[in-house]
Amino acid sequence: MSPARPMTLQELTAQAQASGLDLTPVQLAEIHTGYLHVAAMAARVRGAGDRPREAEPALIFRPGFED
């Protein structure tokens, strides 16, 4: 699950390091400002409507080898 709140700069820094990203403090601070917009978009798509837990995504696997 996504965090209930957006990550702080410190949490984002830790996740960047865990992901193998080598970023400077200046870069991380800048990225965090953009991340806050992305976190808001994620909250919006997760919170929209009363989508059932088992809802299929738009892209599904089609059986057969024609693809």
Residue 41 in contact with another protein, rule: CB under 8 A: yes
Minimum gap (Å) between residue 5 Cβ and another protein:
14
Residues with Cβ within 8 Å of 28's Cβ and at least 6 positions away in sequence, in order, are 9, 12, 13, 16
Residue 48 in contact with another protein, rule: CB under 8 A: yes
Candidate residues 49, 61, 64, 65; the one interacting with another protein per rule CB under 8 A: 49
- Mutual angle of helices 25-47 and 9-18, in 10-degree steps: 100
Q: In the block, which residue shows the tokens 């892209």? A: 59
Q: What share of the chain is helix, strand, coil (3-state, %, to 5)?
A: 50, 0, 50
Residue 7 in contact with another protein, rule: CB under 8 A: yes
Chain contacts with another protein (rule: CB under 8 A):
1-2, 7, 12, 15-16, 19-23, 27, 30-31, 33-35, 37-42, 44-46, 48-49, 51, 55-59, 67
